[in-house]
Structure 1
């Protein structure tokens, strides 16, 4: 008889407390005659299949048991099993480190299954660390992970939005509710003083992709552009890991200075059976918040009182709202009119997977459509396709994988970045936007522009993105593997805007021409990384070593063409029909990067772990003398719960680990060719003029990272907690060095003697509150307390940052005036003139106010009752923002051609008479009073408002149909679900969305989405 793992002809029966092994009954064995006095037993059939993990690899030793009976078997080393069962039986698959799976037999003779890792089994969960994988129990670095079940049902266009509230130390901010807008991610704070120097490294299936946003010709989506991860299919993502500390990121060298985001896509299962997966959801969305503005009666009272306060009896001819030109009884809710529409969302994706135990495949695709809340036919479309192939030789010495992800998306937008603010400021008695003929109305001889005029400037923005990765691995010797990873990315975007003259007010049209803008951007890169991997048991420990090199090159091309003088607006877009075509922008850049890297990890007795990593980087963004930099880290961990003395003294603590790391990473996120002197032709004359000064002497920014952490597991991991402290210093800052105007340049790229420190605490808690056969309740909680400080900047007083930063303060501060209250006689805001020179400038801004987050986190509850599943995620943020009364650009009562007049209902509590104890100045229309409002808006009273919020981020309810039901119609799994996103927000903040309080009322708030869907598996 073979071992349990080697022969599937062995079964067992359970007798008392003993397992009795016995050969399987053969077909030739004689059986006793049936008992004719009772109902005939269900006929048995021979059931076989393969058990594999989520990566398609076979699992040996899986226990396959007939539910409710005492017979079972084990899978062999190829993952194959064989057992006799009746059609009414249920097979139960159990294996250490994986979730139990039940599958009804029915009339299916072949049942192949894939077991899912059990995240509650700490010792078996494997996390992706990029160049290597490590068990959660044994990792020395700081890595957080989100899996497919937390990503796939969320109705978002970029995967980063699915991380909000789920990861300690990871700050994710959705900057606009327009689909596809860029999402900002900050990992443990802002390291660089340059805004564009804080991007993390994105890696998809081992291939680095550009993390910078895609700029647009229109600023409607967000002034910062579109997200480069939009073209990914969220349902094809297996997991997202974020690497935070030096131990985890140093192996990436300069590229990992601001953390690393690893996105792993799904793989074929290879279970000798073809599997079909489908997912469909559809739903609607509305803006999650609107503001309480003055109605017509309140608004007209404000305007009339403002004129009275200013001593103006006869209303100006341009005061259309109060001089009788506009209907005094008309009321329009402009937020409802301009941003109050309903966005419709539809998503469909499917995949087919299969193969054998040695060769597997997965082929999938998706379609995503989402409209906007703006008037008109605008929206977002996305089409994706993905292919994954895995193969291993019969002797397991050779393994190969191929991953291809391709996506095409299209944004149909319009060129009006002010439509959000216009929805807020527009007077409530303003006329209809359309005339009696259905055309746009141009108010009062074109004096005020129609808010929908920008919709006559349609924008088509499309992108195509392909990410290809292949990995070849060969086991040369018993303990030695050779590996080559190669990748290619290709992203092309086309941005086109039509600007017909009828999109402008009639008064301006005689001097205008039809115009168009067309911009193409191409980004492509290739990377090759040969590696040597060594793994060997040494004494009571194990040694893992890795040595590799990186060769990478990126190219980028941008071309902007402007066509003018089209004879007819129908010809706009056909550049050959333009009277004049100008090349407005043409950029071609190359970036070359090379490195050698290595890692040595050793663990002794599964208790003591040490990890050494190092990397030498070379970047073409630095001059020849400073092109290379060395970076490295050391990480260590001690699982003290494995010590005998600890097991005896504190037996209820089943797991305890102390870990720490220290190391350095670099940063080369600066423009290409910055060290060159650049000359450009002057307006087509052939003459050259200098456009950039040379400085070949600047070098790498250096980030030094220190971390200490403690992980504890209680009551057999029913309670798990991890607390960590980090201390990061970023020095040798690459920023612009201010130059005198006589040089002809404002600054030159240089290393400045400035140091930025990020430090903080992170806490993660997981509790398994209840777990029974029919009911379970799990809770996960995370919170981060970050602190950012500019600890050093020699000579900041003489730099261009003198009016932006202060040593000893965070980078996200505001330099403000000292507010002294409302003048009891004039009713106007007052601030202190520190030097008493009669002017208000930065010499008077002696106070600093810290903005941004003081702490943030999330709490998620997952409740299962039989086949029902409920998941609830709350996101919370404690932060300071701009005061509610100062998010407008004008004082209450004022109106002009460039600034509409409405304000929030807070203005009702304004100053009206001497002695009024209020914080709102009087209604007024004068420029002088608006100047006082501006001073107060830049004072300590304005930057002292609570912009904290708690948001019900996701609410999901699902039902999984029992296997016995769906097997009768040929399905393997079926789940229906309802999902709500951004359901409600608790906050004192007045603006549209407290998530980004600095934007005031210029960005569309995130949408409240309701979707319903179904997942099918055949």
Structure 2
């Protein structure tokens, strides 16, 4: 028994010793990570200042304790505070300066100077989505803007902040309605279908459905931007991935480029800070058209009657007989000349210790509408970012939550007709109000027209949105160089529109035949994504290998419900569907989309000179039939930093950096409707009946985009001047379009792949320079220029397709097919166009002989950043070369206003204007001319896009009271120079839509 106890006691003792050994190893094995001096209490607070060689403080310098992830940033005055031990080494890094390492020692205050290296690429990293990469070692094409360029702009969508700042990126704002989705094109249009050209949006690793969500009001021409509810002040950076090397790791989702949005987070060991920002200002329509005044208008109208040889009558010539001949109204000023008052407030609190950091913020934005009535756009946001790392730095957890809600009560009217009315109404049209403040109807009734304000004032419209984007990431370092990671994300975007329509919007004599009505539309999108990843990073001699392997599981659900109500018994009950005489469910759908993928990346870097990057992805999409759901996409990118070669260093001392890079690969596209491969049926009006609405085709598959790029990047005179030149070629084939069917089938088309190929090529140029740098003055310039070209390379049997009158092989996609203008007829004095096939009939199919490219020939921007002591001045000039059609106006002589140029040509007997007439022949000839090359003119423009002036007054306050206190003025679209006189919106010429607003805001920024 004693021996048994002895054995048991020994076992217990050995077990305790083993546990003690493990515990001891765990404790002392982590001393390097935890820092022995921290455990012993030997850390002390170190205060430091960081300046350049001229003594100018440098803000936002990254100060990190070597061997850890603990650190902070310098404030606006170059100050920082950090808790460190005497043996700790601080690493300082900042764009444009060489990294600096300094031993803390026993010093409590450090004065540090960074040596300039204007665009030191070693210190710059860019977000490539699933990984980050040093700028100097980047093999793909990635453009980037930072918080400083984004946060002060008084716009709603973060996409608008990119205008003119990036090569290869077109951002076109269709109209100035807050929240309206802009058109985004990254290196051109790849798909024949409009809905096949949206880029992929990713916020903190979570993919967002980029298709604009339907807006309840027709004023949202392009739909509502899914990013409009984001807080611009919470964005750290926006990166845009363009070529195959950068996008193919996203597979089909990256076919049209990827927009990565990274939100702000606090650093570890950062003292708690409160940052507030406020601005307020106003906006006006930035562009109007010079129209005729009453005297000029009446003269043209009377000339038309004289040429037609007839006397005026009250039916067609009410403007001459029933309306005041001396009255003048600028209808542009009345109908969209209002002032948009803008207010924005943002607050955030951030801080952290050695293992946990946090940032919590919120904002409120209010922006008025330039149309009559008290209509506004409101946006409120809240955001949270939490980061935690274990003391041994193996376990990392990060959480980001962004929530926004907005409300738009823009008028529920059709913007095209409303804006067109402002341009076409005769300048002597009647007054809008009676003396008692009620709407005036009498003189409008006599002309058979509606009072323009009636639709706005008798319609109530609200569109409310809620947008949640949440992400959590967990990573664990198994051993040095190997890490596992799990990303999970959830999004929910919902909008609820309610439009109330009173029959009082109609003329009094029409109201008896009308009804009060309403529309309710509920739209919702939700998605979740889970991405487990395995990451590795090893060094072998002079080479390093890093990469990752991962999986994607994603599901999207879209819901849409619309209910119309009609016949409300009174105006007070409009919107209460229980009080409607009839209700009608227009749409009630729920659609699911599932997407799975496996992806991998392998990068090899030899001696920091020769770099190869391989990426691949296998995608599966529920939008294709069972046999076509999976496809493979891949890319290879490479770079050679030739400036590191001895023969370059020895013979070209002025060349501080030089790199060749190139890539080739494929991405896919599944941006089509769901369930298109199935037969579809709908119920008939009668009982138990079905009728087919869609034919099955389980064999169509992915569009494929093959991307090729070559580029050179250079730096001169210690990188005081840097430049980059890129050439790209994208070929998108296997186009998903409607295949034409014989009419006997009962269907016009069926979804299918067509062997059509679209090619986009182009040159991109970027240049940055440090022009001047002294103790009190610094001036930097950044230039980007893009020269794009697109072409439909091939489309077999295009004549038999629905695109026969839209595209031409060998020409760009954004062409217009027009008649050939043949001048004025010598006998009638009216416009004529060429009858190409000589059949004495003018028609679209046979006589469209002129092909005009309506795309941008080139575009770009020039940014200047100037610092003078505490004063910062920044401005961006945007430029675009393009042609466009003139905005449509009725022919001169009709009861419709005209551009001033028409009157001037008439007075000067110009051969460029047809005979002034109000008859049908003149109308028909005018329409033919407006659809010919007669209507094409140069629509190029140069615009002062942004101008900001900022002054830091913290130096004038008591030291330590505030870390930052600045006042600023920010202006948008101040001046636009263009010879194109016949359009409101210079970005989208030829369309009767509101242009971007000219805004001026004043604000302040304070950090405690």
Same fold (TM over 0.5): yes
Whether the 8 Å contact between 2:239 and 2:259 is mirrored in structure 1 is yes
Structure 1 counterpart of 2:942 = 950
Q: Does 1:574 align with 2:572?
A: no
Matches within 5 A, 1:387-786: 387-417=384-414, 418-442=417-441, 443-445=444-446, 447-455=448-456, 456-683=458-685, 685-786=687-788
Matches within 5 A, 1:349-360: 349-360=346-357
Moved more, 264-273 or 850-859: 264-273
Looking at structure 2, the residues matched to 1008 and 73 of structure 1 have their Cα atoms a distance apart, in angstroms, of 42
Looking at structure 2, the residues matched to 877 and 634 of structure 1 have their Cα atoms a distance apart, in angstroms, of 33
Structure 1 counterpart of 2:821 = 819
Structure 2 counterpart of 1:293 = 291
Looking at structure 2, the residues matched to 46 and 197 of structure 1 have their Cα atoms a distance apart, in angstroms, of 56
Structure 2 counterpart of 1:216 = 215
Residue 959 of structure 1, aligned match among 948, 951, 956: 951
SS of the equivalent of 1:230 reads coil
How far is the alpha carbon of 1:998 from its aligned partner?
A: 4.0
Looking at structure 2, the residues matched to 415 and 302 of structure 1 have their Cα atoms a distance apart, in angstroms, of 35
Whether the 8 Å contact between 1:58 and 1:79 is mirrored in structure 2 is no
* Aligned residue pair count: 948
Residues 322 and 118 of structure 1: CA distance in aligned 2, closer, same or farther (over 3 Å): farther
Residues 158 and 64 of structure 1: CA distance in aligned 2, closer, same or farther (over 3 Å): closer
Residue deviations 1:178-221 (CA, integer Å, cap 9, x gap): 11111111000000010111000000000000111121232123
Structure 1 counterpart of 2:66 = 60
Deviating 4+ runs (over 4 angstroms): 5-9, 45-57, 61-67, 72-82, 93-101, 109-113, 115-119, 910-913
Structure 1 counterpart of 2:183 = 184
Whether the 8 Å contact between 1:204 and 1:264 is mirrored in structure 2 is yes
How far is the alpha carbon of 1:966 from its aligned partner?
A: 3.4
Q: Does 1:854 align with 2:852?
A: no
Looking at structure 2, the residues matched to 747 and 55 of structure 1 have their Cα atoms a distance apart, in angstroms, of 60
TM-score, structure 1 as length reference: 0.89
Structure 2 counterpart of 1:86 = none
Moved more, 439-448 or 207-216: 439-448
Structure 1 counterpart of 2:867 = 864
Looking at structure 1, the residues matched to 74 and 638 of structure 2 have their Cα atoms a distance apart, in angstroms, of 45
Structure 2 counterpart of 1:251 = 249
Residue deviations 1:48-81 (CA, integer Å, cap 9, x gap): 59999979984439999999xxxx9998589979
Structure 1 counterpart of 2:903 = 908
Structure 2 counterpart of 1:888 = 888
Whether the 8 Å contact between 2:474 and 2:487 is mirrored in structure 1 is yes
Looking at structure 2, the residues matched to 745 and 117 of structure 1 have their Cα atoms a distance apart, in angstroms, of 68
Looking at structure 2, the residues matched to 366 and 952 of structure 1 have their Cα atoms a distance apart, in angstroms, of 28
Residue deviations 1:846-877 (CA, integer Å, cap 9, x gap): 22111110000000011100110000100000
Whether the 8 Å contact between 1:63 and 1:73 is mirrored in structure 2 is no
Looking at structure 2, the residues matched to 158 and 65 of structure 1 have their Cα atoms a distance apart, in angstroms, of 28
SS of the equivalent of 2:152 reads coil
Whether the 8 Å contact between 2:284 and 2:338 is mirrored in structure 1 is yes
Structure 1 counterpart of 2:981 = 990
Residue deviations 1:386-410 (CA, integer Å, cap 9, x gap): 0000000000001010000000000
Structure 2 counterpart of 1:928 = 921
Structure 1 counterpart of 2:997 = 1007
How far is the alpha carbon of 1:97 from its aligned partner?
A: 4.9
How far is the alpha carbon of 1:802 from its aligned partner?
A: 0.8
Looking at structure 2, the residues matched to 452 and 777 of structure 1 have their Cα atoms a distance apart, in angstroms, of 50
Q: Which structure 1 residue ranges, 5 or more long, are not aligned?
A: 10-25, 28-44, 83-92, 102-108, 896-900
How far is the alpha carbon of 1:742 from its aligned partner?
A: 3.2
Whether the 8 Å contact between 1:58 and 1:357 is mirrored in structure 2 is no
How far is the alpha carbon of 1:996 from its aligned partner?
A: 3.1
Structure 1 counterpart of 2:965 = 974
Residue 878 of structure 2, aligned match among 875, 880, 885: 875
Looking at structure 2, the residues matched to 925 and 709 of structure 1 have their Cα atoms a distance apart, in angstroms, of 59
The structure carrying a bigger helix percent of its residues is 2
Q: Does 1:281 align with 2:297?
A: no
Residues 276 and 111 of structure 1: CA distance in aligned 2, closer, same or farther (over 3 Å): farther
Looking at structure 2, the residues matched to 59 and 438 of structure 1 have their Cα atoms a distance apart, in angstroms, of 71
Looking at structure 2, the residues matched to 767 and 516 of structure 1 have their Cα atoms a distance apart, in angstroms, of 58
Cα RMSD after superposing both structures: 3.1
Q: Which structure 2 residue ranges, 5 or more long, are not aligned?
A: 1-30, 51-57, 100-107
Whether the 8 Å contact between 2:465 and 2:494 is mirrored in structure 1 is yes
Whether the 8 Å contact between 2:732 and 2:758 is mirrored in structure 1 is yes
How far is the alpha carbon of 1:990 from its aligned partner?
A: 1.5
SS of the equivalent of 1:941 reads helix
Whether the 8 Å contact between 1:60 and 1:79 is mirrored in structure 2 is no
Residue 371 of structure 1, aligned match among 348, 352, 368: 368
SS of the equivalent of 1:322 reads helix
Residues 864 and 610 of structure 1: CA distance in aligned 2, closer, same or farther (over 3 Å): same
Residues 527 and 642 of structure 1: CA distance in aligned 2, closer, same or farther (over 3 Å): same
Moved more, 416-425 or 46-55: 46-55
Looking at structure 2, the residues matched to 565 and 73 of structure 1 have their Cα atoms a distance apart, in angstroms, of 69
SS of the equivalent of 1:864 reads strand
